[in-house]
Structure 1
């Protein structure tokens, strides 16, 4: 089964991320320059600067991204705004358009986009990737061990079909995205909500082939996000609890 892609959308929501955004955008640029994107005729990298009180929008533009400024204060609405802005620029039909999303505090591998498009070319409608905690900012070794024990609990060798969903490492064909209603305008959990709303015929690949590095900060930008999970895992509130669906850790 073939799923040729001629338009590529890269969407990044950002709330007061002027400090972390340059590394994220540089990594995306490296992935774009790395090759392995056969047939792609247009690429649209869009940052949604959401309710920012810092220079996020200026930094994004300086690093070559298109910027849409919104004031939703919700990760789901910001991610959707970035996608919609890019889709309006695309000339290709939805079935030839691939949407990838990551976060402003993440760094992607040079092969990230090539891996996404390889899966799209094999007919997958959605790709759910994994994450790793970045080396900076430093995370206590004990916390990293506890996180990894939880995250990889069901891994049993190569070819891991993982249970996680991360907006930080997600790809979806535009026609499947439209059929699912897009990212809902929620504070967190928009990634899992989108996946759950995909048509029953959608082919979803869960792969650990190209993980994304994400910040291990425990001062989260979004309620219920990965930072909240790490903070709770560290025992800051006296107990470990599950978090909202946006982290894929439930």
Structure 2
């Protein structure tokens, strides 16, 4: 069984799109493998829960305010249900229709790090977009780590100690511990997720923080002279 974990904190604007896209990915593997999804609602004060309930998706509610603990809560809940492979994404992201198919095609693996694409650049300048494209490597063997597109085996997760109670970079920390223990880590651009370019991220030093830093860095660059 595959388990899918989605942390959410006040994501009423995006959670429906996230879950509908995920359903397409589930439909693509439904003939030969069971998939269970859990949304872990952390300190939500908006209508995120109502949207999750309307789509009849399993959920947990907590007041942790710590993404590492939230992801771990969801992972361990699904492991108790019998999941042998866990796939993580985020509530402001949409997985590709072949997201789960690609993960299965990459087996055997202990952990798969996928790539993310930006859905809408309206919050960022063209110069910042260009700077991001220079930095980002959309290829096999890329080396990027995203909590919004990370999947792993039950055995590797438990042996590595799982997500720790970190408020940011919990994904990087987990991957580094798996690498240190010589687990088979695959860096794939075939496992794809589209995410938002919002700058008001739910995590202080997450992907939104990275984009904001890029934008600030671009604004501080000297302007080209026309003379």
Whether the TM-score (by the shorter chain) exceeds 0.5 is yes
Structure 2 equivalent of residue 221 of structure 1: 202
Find the partner of 1:48 among 36, 40, 53.
40
Find the partner of 1:167 among 138, 147, 170.
147
CA contact (8 A) 1:68 1:85 kept: no
**Could you tell me how far 1:34 is from its partner in structure 2?**
2.0
SS in 2 for 1:16: coil
CA contact (8 A) 2:124 2:215 kept: no
**Could you tell me how far 1:238 is from its partner in structure 2?**
6.6
Structure 2 equivalent of residue 181 of structure 1: 161
State the alpha-carbon separation in 1 of the partners of residues 65 and 23 from structure 2.
Answer: 27
Structure 1 equivalent of residue 51 of structure 2: 59
Find the partner of 2:15 among 6, 13, 21.
21
State the alpha-carbon separation in 1 of the partners of residues 8 and 188 from structure 2.
Answer: 25
CA contact (8 A) 2:127 2:218 kept: no
Kindly indicate whether residue 189 of structure 2 is the aligned counterpart of residue 204 of structure 1. no
Q: How does 1:134-149 map to 2 (within 5 A)?
A: 134-135=119-120, 139-149=124-134
Find the partner of 2:24 among 15, 27, 30.
30
Number of corresponding residues: 220
State the alpha-carbon separation in 1 of the partners of residues 57 and 220 from structure 2.
Answer: 40
**5+ residue gaps in structure 1?**
1-6, 241-250
Instruction: Output the TM-score relative to the length of structure 1.
Output: 0.82
SS in 2 for 1:129: strand
State the alpha-carbon separation in 2 of the partners of residues 236 and 29 from structure 1.
Answer: 38
**Could you tell me how far 1:71 is from its partner in structure 2?**
0.6
CA contact (8 A) 1:137 1:215 kept: no
> Measured at CA, do residues 235 and 138 of structure 1 come closer, stay the same or move farther in structure 2, by a change above 3 Å?
closer
SS in 2 for 1:31: helix
SS in 1 for 2:191: coil
> Measured at CA, do residues 53 and 117 of structure 1 come closer, stay the same or move farther in structure 2, by a change above 3 Å?
same
**5+ residue gaps in structure 2?**
222-227
Find the partner of 1:133 among 112, 118, 138.
118
Instruction: Output the TM-score relative to the length of structure 2.
Output: 0.90
CA contact (8 A) 1:232 1:239 kept: no
CA contact (8 A) 2:128 2:218 kept: no
SS in 2 for 1:210: strand
* Greater fraction of residues in strand: 2
State the alpha-carbon separation in 2 of the partners of residues 182 and 66 from structure 1.
Answer: 21
**Could you tell me how far 1:86 is from its partner in structure 2?**
1.6
User: Aligned-pair RMSD on alpha carbons?
Assistant: 2.1
CA contact (8 A) 2:160 2:181 kept: no
**Could you tell me how far 1:136 is from its partner in structure 2?**
6.7
